[in-house]
Structure 1
């Protein structure tokens, strides 16, 4: 039995220089659909052509190519994080929350790959 129960969603988070331009590119080239631009958070989300999979675009002045971070949806981020921490999984700082939107926590696999948990607070 897994330590954490994930929901049926995953967001692939990419670092981009200009979210609005990147969203247009993904829409035109791959047929993805814009879900939201959250300008105050420097974040945009696109619905991919795969059910339950979204593409998150995080704006950075100097993005790191090839640095995709899978973001796994959970119903209760505090419980999920606690279960992983009890299994000695390393986290990067505290859980971050944008009220009414999302709570996220970055953690690492044994090889140092970054992964995230996310709880949707908009529901």
Structure 2
């Protein structure tokens, strides 16, 4: 039994310099949909492609990049990485592979926040 009864929603929050520009980046690069911009609160929220998981963007003059690393599953990591690299998205080194388990690649948004792509390799094993 847990101390807190959690529901099935998750919001992954980032601090960014320009919420509107960052929201556009997440829309263009990852296909997320902006739900709203609460300009008076300095907050924007986007729906990811995963039910119950949203991205929150808090606007700060000095954002704190790298404070969280959300992991997003993809069917074909190599193709996804190639598309992002073609769009000048910066990756942190080579793709890591744990044979028969997972393939991962860390990349960064415009404010230096780390994100990760992961391909499940257990299905063919």
Q: Taking structure 1 as the reference length, what is the TM-score of the superposition?
A: 0.55
Question: Residues 52-109 of structure 1, C-alpha deviation per residue, up to 9 Å, x if partnerless?
Answer: 0000000000101111399xxxxxxxxxxxxxxxxxxxxxxxxxxxxxxxxxxxxxxx
Q: Quick one: distance in 1 between partners of 2:61 and 2:68? A: 16
The residue correspondences of 1:43-58 to structure 2 (distance < 5 A) are 43-58=43-58
User: How far is the alpha carbon of 1:25 from its aligned partner?
Assistant: 0.4
Residue 45 of structure 1 aligns to a residue whose secondary structure is strand
Bigger relative contact order (CA 8 A; separation at least 6): 1
Match of 2:87 in 1: none
Greater Rg over alpha carbons, structure: 2
TM-score under structure 2 length normalisation: 0.54
Q: Equivalent residue for 2:3? A: 3
**Cα RMSD (Å) of the superposition?**
1.6
Q: Is the 8 A contact 1:11 1:56 kept in 2?
A: yes
The residue aligned with 1:19 is: 19
Gaps of at least 5 residues in structure 1 are 71-123
Residue number in structure 1 paired with 2:62: 62
Q: How many residues get paired?
A: 70
- Provide the rounded CA distance (Å) in 2 between the counterparts of 1:41 and 1:31: 24
| Structure 2: segments with no counterpart, 5+ residues | 71-125
Runs of 4+ in 1 over 4 A off after TM superposition: none
